[in-house]
Structure 1
Amino acid sequence: MNIILKIILHLFFWIVFIVLSGVVSFQMGDDPEFIYKHYDALLVAITWAVVAFYFFYFFLYRFIEKHEFFKYFIFSVLSVGAISVVFILLVRVFIFTDEFFPEPLWDFTTIAGTYTIANCGSLLRGFIRWIESAKIKSELEKRNILLELEALRTQINQHFLFNTLNNIDSYIFTNPEKASKMLITLSETLRYMLYETQEGKNTIAQENKHIENVLELQRIRFSHENYIVFRSEIENPVVAIAPLLFIPFVENACKYAQFLDTYPVIKISLKQQSHTIVFECVNTYNDVENSKLKKGGLGLENVQKRLSILYPDSHTLEIKDSGSVYFVKLVITTA
């Protein structure tokens, strides 16, 4: 936690304590100037509270961190007893006489007050540690997401790349124009994955273009051009979104799609309107690959982790499996 924020928390606690102490002191006497006449008593009370508070804050809280609660209880009782004895002696000897305070100070109220103030030190230390732990956890999660994205960028499907290059090679002599076009598309795809996703956010138009390029390369595998249908409706092309969220679903569909006589085998749509992005992917698949498709692989797991951190309360992911048709719908609400 920032040192300034820590100081603010401590100051806030002591301001509240001093105000409450002043109110209590005022109520103890009939004289409206009671506080001014006996400011020394208030100073002793504040000093006593500071000693008890920071003794627990710096020394006893360590038992809580180690989950040694029994030791904490024993030492807290002993510490409160010692601090209370010192406080009472100071009050009796140097400030108030028996004539001023005929009733004994060694009572339950004194002990309870001391114990309460002292434990406030442990509570504040615990609160600060909780905030620091939450911040560290959040930073680690974000760092992990960046590492996963880095791995996703560098994780090129070797089989996809090998098959694509082989297919392009087959067109070099028979259809050189198409082969050249495919090489350009492959180059754009690799460049986007490796270099253009490092900022953490890309535009929806860039993601849409990347999906088009990936599908264009995947179509080489299919004998019919209508095996894959992709439709997009982008209202605002500069809307920002985390990169490569949709590609694992696209690659999963293309990997396990079943070749049928009916078209299309894979239907994908991407819509952006106002603050909402809707991605849908439907594909038929072979029952033999059913278990593999359900597991989805590491890519889909990483996407789900990224969504839970990047869009924790602003996304819904729906996955349905009818036995031969796999359906994915991802809705993201952008700021």
Structure 2
Amino acid sequence: MKKYFVALLHIGFWACYLLAILIIVTIAYRNSAMSEREFRMVNALQNLLFFALFPSIITFHLFYFFLFPSYIQQNKFFLSFVYGIAIAIAAAALGYLFLRMLIESGWMMDMDQGGKQGRSTAVIVITSMTLIGMICGIVALIMRGFITWFSEIKVKQMLREKNYEMEMALIKSQLDPHLLFNTINNIDALILRDAVKASDYLNRLSDIMRFVLYETRANKILLSQEIEYIEKYIGLQKIRTANESYVQWSVSGTIGNKMIAPMVFIPFIENAFKHTTNKKLENAITIRVLITEVSIELICENRFESGSIRQAVGGLGNELVQKRLDLIYAGTHLLEIKKSDDLYRVHLTIPHG
């Protein structure tokens, strides 16, 4: 929270405190029909509030700067209660001593009419100052609690945004070199055989890199953009095989203007291509996107040879993707990853914007 706003809260509270004293004084001096006894009582209340300002300031700031961070935030509530009362009583006692010094020096009127009830007056004044100090202390705790709560929200939001940016960058850094180097090598080999097709693939690669570098800066993009990116990615991967049935890709449902976080699906699709070693298999990879009124689902399956390097369910890549999903779709997504002897299956469900 901005420092000037915190300062305004403090100034506002103490301005209200002094305003209460002013209101009491105004009422007292405007009421000409007030008896001498009533006038003395109002005068005593005025003096009490004014001279309670000193212990109240002490109590307020000790509650604000000491009690809240040292005990309330540490969940030490019993000690907070004990120390809170002790602080208020000690501050009130100091305030009463200051008040007596002024009375004895003749600076103000004695409230017990000549000191006939000195002890009882002292108890009443200290008790009253303690209660006023406790009220100020409670206001200090509420104020500090609100400021802390608001600041924590801002910090958590900032951390979420930073984590999102870092993990997004990390996921992209894992994807881009793999895609870039493999595709360039494949296009290089294709140039001598089919220059037209090689040019088409270069354009697709250019579109993909433009999407990764610029479109993914937004928190949400159109689902149509994500699907277009996936289609171009699949098209580039098909350079590596002449098997037209190698990949089965389908989209069902109405795309419309639905929104999605960028590159949510691509890590799973990239993973499927990476671990599918036999490119002569029919339907070696199946990728389906199902769009409903409330959600978007990705079902990605790939087959791998049981004798090859085994495709892990966990791993750093999946862990990063899971963390990113937790940040973007906290509590609203469902990710299921299953693996059998030769089939790896990912089923992700997310809400659309």
* TM-score, length basis structure 2: 0.72
Q: Which runs of 5+ in 1 are unaligned?
A: 23-30
Cα deviation, residue 258, structure 1? 4.8
Cα deviation, residue 66, structure 1? 10
What residue identity is the alignment partner of 1:40?
Q
State which drifts further: 194-203 or 47-56.
47-56
Q: How far apart, in 1, do the equivalents of 2:311 and 2:14 lie?
A: 57
Could you say if the C-alpha distance between residues 46 and 267 of structure 1 is closer, same or farther in structure 2, counting changes exceeding 3 Å? farther
Give the match for residue 202 of structure 1: 221
Pairwise mapping of residues 96-175 of structure 1 onto structure 2 (< 5 A)?
Answer: 96-97=111-112, 102=120, 104-105=123-124, 114=133, 117-118=136-137, 121-122=140-141, 124-175=143-194
Q: Secondary structure at the residue paired with 1:332?
A: strand
Give the match for residue 241 of structure 2: 222
Could you say if the C-alpha distance between residues 233 and 164 of structure 1 is closer, same or farther in structure 2, counting changes exceeding 3 Å? same
Q: Secondary structure at the residue paired with 1:118?
A: helix
What residue identity is the alignment partner of 1:301?
E
Deviations 1:273-330 (A, max 9, x none): 33422222112223456654223433x3332222212221332222222343222122
Establish whether residue 82 from structure 1 lines up as the match of residue 90 from structure 2: yes
Give the match for residue 334 of structure 2: 316
Could you say if the C-alpha distance between residues 313 and 105 of structure 1 is closer, same or farther in structure 2, counting changes exceeding 3 Å? same
Q: How far apart, in 2, do the equivalents of 1:281 and 1:191 lie?
A: 25
Taking only the aligned residue pairs, the percentage that are identical comes to 29
Q: Secondary structure at the residue paired with 1:313?
A: coil
Contact 1:154 1:193 in 2 (8 A): no
Establish whether residue 265 from structure 1 lines up as the match of residue 273 from structure 2: no
Could you say if the C-alpha distance between residues 84 and 42 of structure 1 is closer, same or farther in structure 2, counting changes exceeding 3 Å? closer
Contact 1:154 1:194 in 2 (8 A): no
What residue identity is the alignment partner of 2:209?
L
Indicate the structure (1 or 2) with the bigger Cα radius of gyration: 2
Q: How far apart, in 1, do the equivalents of 2:162 and 2:310 lie?
A: 32
Establish whether residue 182 from structure 1 lines up as the match of residue 201 from structure 2: yes
Establish whether residue 40 from structure 1 lines up as the match of residue 58 from structure 2: no
Cα deviation, residue 112, structure 1? 7.4
Could you say if the C-alpha distance between residues 152 and 310 of structure 1 is closer, same or farther in structure 2, counting changes exceeding 3 Å? same
- Aligned-residue Cα RMSD (Å) equals 4.2
Contact 2:6 2:147 in 1 (8 A): no
**Which of 228, 239, 250 lines up with 2:258 in the alignment?**
239
The size of the alignment, in residue pairs, is 321
Contact 2:297 2:347 in 1 (8 A): yes
Contact 1:148 1:302 in 2 (8 A): yes
Could you say if the C-alpha distance between residues 11 and 330 of structure 1 is closer, same or farther in structure 2, counting changes exceeding 3 Å? farther
Q: How far apart, in 2, do the equivalents of 1:5 and 1:111 lie?
A: 25
Cα deviation, residue 238, structure 1? 2.8
State which drifts further: 251-260 or 210-219.
251-260
Cα deviation, residue 147, structure 1? 3.0
Q: Secondary structure at the residue paired with 1:295?
A: coil
What residue identity is the alignment partner of 2:254?
E
Could you say if the C-alpha distance between residues 41 and 109 of structure 1 is closer, same or farther in structure 2, counting changes exceeding 3 Å? closer
Give the match for residue 56 of structure 1: 63
What residue identity is the alignment partner of 1:56?
F
Q: Which runs of 5+ in 2 are unaligned?
A: 24-33, 104-108
Contact 1:258 1:265 in 2 (8 A): no
Q: Secondary structure at the residue paired with 2:245?
A: helix
Q: How far apart, in 2, do the equivalents of 1:52 and 1:330 lie?
A: 55
Contact 1:236 1:273 in 2 (8 A): no
Cα deviation, residue 204, structure 1? 0.6
* TM-score, length basis structure 1: 0.75
State which drifts further: 90-99 or 177-186.
90-99
State which drifts further: 205-214 or 229-238.
229-238
Establish whether residue 303 from structure 1 lines up as the match of residue 321 from structure 2: yes
